[in-house]
Amino acid sequence: MRRNAVKRLLALLATCATALGLTALTAPQATAATGCKVDYTVASQWQGGFQAGVKVTNLGDPVTGWKLTFTLPDAGQKVVQGWNATWSQSGSAVTAVGVDWNRTLATGATADLGLTGSFTGANPAPTAFALNGVPCTGSVDGTTPPDPGEPGDGTPVEVNGQLHVCGVNLCNQYNRPIQLRGMSTHGIQWFSQCYDNASVDALAEDWKSDLLRVAMYVQEDGYETDPAGFTSRVNSLVDMAEARGMYSIIDFHTLTPGDPNHNLGRAKTFFASVAARNAGKKNVIYEIANEPNGVSWSGIKNYAEQVIPVIRAADPDAVVIVGTRGWSSLGVSDGSSESEIVNNPVNATNIMYAFHFYAASHKDNYRAAVSRAASQLPLFVSEFGTVSATGDGAVDRASTTAWLDLLDRLKIGYANWTYSDAPEGSAAFRPGTCGGGDYSSSGVLTESGALLKSRISTPDSFPTS
């Protein structure tokens, strides 16, 4: 599969919010900067708060130890939280100091910083950016700054390499936030005919999908009936995705019973096997519990903190997605909110939290929860539908579009349910499509499939610098 990325300047998330009277920090043993450029972008904004990004590019000589300073123009703007630097605020002056892993900036190198913030009046962009005291004017002694270059061509995995979580984002090998967009299988015990070479080729080439989520049910005639056979089938689909340059989410699809601890032993066995087998791959993401329901957040957290070490023992670098309460709704469907996770996060690194929605059933209050949570938690929409929560019914185009626009703005990755010809409204294909060789033409796509294909097939423009 060939990706022709569109050139565009991409700035990271960042913000300005409440800083609790911290004093300014100084950069340790900083060397002089001779030129720099700063790109500042507000990624999302809500009542009294926002999230933005500051991308710092060193245009001059290499810098060892750096301090970025800038001014918040409005007295009501405060720094609340930041990442990829040590942040402080004194009055209107904000300081960000490089941390151990990014304190050295070679010529042309960048540091992507993120913040969440608050404001009481206006929210104008910061001014007077300076790197180690040198104003960031976008040039060196009046010369033209270097061209940042085209985003990389190639498959999603070729461009992005091994993924990791940085701050609240999923980031690529260049430490730049990215959004993965793709499709989920239906239960592979029921729709295996939908996942052959022709269908996976179409997903990669025609749909230009970044990922394939492999939904392996545990009950419902799934894994528990044939652990070796289902493990082998999952590994085969991971290989098929890898061969086409797509990422693969291995989904331990727990649904009934909803308490993932019921399957704790099976989960440990399964993930020990697939993690050991796929540890050398760059395209694997592990989703350890699909939709916990009827269980507390503390019960889900306990499960995650037992399963994640099993994966880490074999595959220490891969991203892990943790399901959330109320059918992975961040607790909203159970009358709770994201605060239970924010206040009691899973004790593990390089993880994200799952959020699932069905557009006809889950609307403004769910979108508000995601908007709030995205400034504090790394989120991945590992499953969503364009229809009702039953997986059937009419496509709600307006709500689906509102959801996808929000996810695009927040750079939250997603996988749509489902890349199948199931006789239900959420399916991408008309019944009888699978096994026929055509997975892309208007004649085989449902309304949901046509809508998702049009969104997924737009250029990714993954950043490479």
Reported as a single tens digit per residue, the pLDDT across 375-416 is: 999 999 999 999 999 999 999 999 999 999 999 999 999 999
Query: Average pLDDT over the chain, rounded to whole?
Result: 88
Q: Which residues contact 238 (CB under 8 A, 6 or more apart)?
A: 214, 248, 250, 274, 278, 281, 283, 284
Q: What pLDDT, on the 0 to 100 scale, is given for residue 100? A: 72
Q: What pLDDT, on the 0 to 100 scale, is given for residue 101? A: 64
Active site residues: 291, 383
Is residue 432's pLDDT more than 80? Answer: yes
Is residue 235's pLDDT more than 90? Answer: yes
Q: What is the total residue count of the chain?
A: 465
Tokens (6 digits) for 358 = 């069905």
Q: What pLDDT, on the 0 to 100 scale, is given for residue 345? A: 97
Q: What pLDDT, on the 0 to 100 scale, is given for residue 49? A: 85
Report all structural domains of the chain as residue ranges with CATH numbers, in order of start. 1-150 (2.60.40.290), 156-456 (3.20.20.80)
117-121 average pLDDT score:
88
User: 115-129, 379-393, 446-460: which range is least confident on average?
Assistant: 115-129
Q: What pLDDT, on the 0 to 100 scale, is given for residue 3? A: 38
Higher pLDDT, 403 or 7: 403
Band the pLDDT of 63: cuts 50, 70, 90: confident
User: 4-8, 56-60, 225-229: which range is least confident on average?
Assistant: 4-8
Band the pLDDT of 15: cuts 50, 70, 90: very low
Q: What pLDDT, on the 0 to 100 scale, is given for residue 34? A: 66
Q: What pLDDT, on the 0 to 100 scale, is given for residue 140? A: 60
Band the pLDDT of 269: cuts 50, 70, 90: very high
Choose from 52-61, 134-143, 254-263 the range with maximum mean pLDDT: 254-263
Band the pLDDT of 252: cuts 50, 70, 90: very high
317-339 average pLDDT score:
97
213-217 average pLDDT score:
98
Taking the C-alpha atoms of residue 249 and residue 272, their distance in angstroms, rounded to an integer, is 16
**For 171, phi and psi rounded to 5 degrees?**
-120, 155
79-96 average pLDDT score:
89
108-119 average pLDDT score:
82
Across the beta sheet with 49-58, the strand order is: 36-46, 49-58, 110-118, 78-83
Side chain identity at 280, as an amino acid letter? G
Is residue 33's pLDDT more than 80? Answer: no
Is residue 42's pLDDT more than 90? Answer: no
87-99 average pLDDT score:
91
Taking the C-alpha atoms of residue 273 and residue 268, their distance in angstroms, rounded to an integer, is 9
Q: What pLDDT, on the 0 to 100 scale, is given for residue 277? A: 96
Q: What pLDDT, on the 0 to 100 scale, is given for residue 112? A: 77
Taking the C-alpha atoms of residue 133 and residue 418, their distance in angstroms, rounded to an integer, is 53
Q: What pLDDT, on the 0 to 100 scale, is given for residue 443? A: 93
Taking the C-alpha atoms of residue 45 and residue 412, their distance in angstroms, rounded to an integer, is 15
Q: What pLDDT, on the 0 to 100 scale, is given for residue 13? A: 33
Is residue 7's pLDDT more than 50? Answer: no
Q: What pLDDT, on the 0 to 100 scale, is given for residue 114? A: 80
283-308 average pLDDT score:
98
Is residue 360's pLDDT more than 90? Answer: yes
Higher pLDDT, 116 or 158: 158
Q: Which residues contact 330 (CB under 8 A, 6 or more apart)?
A: 324, 336, 337, 338, 341, 353, 355, 369, 370, 373
Q: What pLDDT, on the 0 to 100 scale, is given for residue 123? A: 85
Q: What pLDDT, on the 0 to 100 scale, is given for residue 46? A: 80
Question: pTM of the entire structure?
Answer: 0.70
Q: What pLDDT, on the 0 to 100 scale, is given for residue 51? A: 80
Higher pLDDT, 143 or 460: 460
Band the pLDDT of 8: cuts 50, 70, 90: very low
Choose from 16-20, 413-417, 437-441 the range with maximum mean pLDDT: 413-417
161: left (phi over 0), alpha (psi -120 to 50) or beta: left
Choose from 79-88, 138-147, 394-403 the range with maximum mean pLDDT: 394-403
Angle between helices 397-410 and 364-373 in degrees, nearest 10? 10
366-371 average pLDDT score:
96
Are the C-beta atoms of 36 and 360 separated by less than 8 Å?
A: no
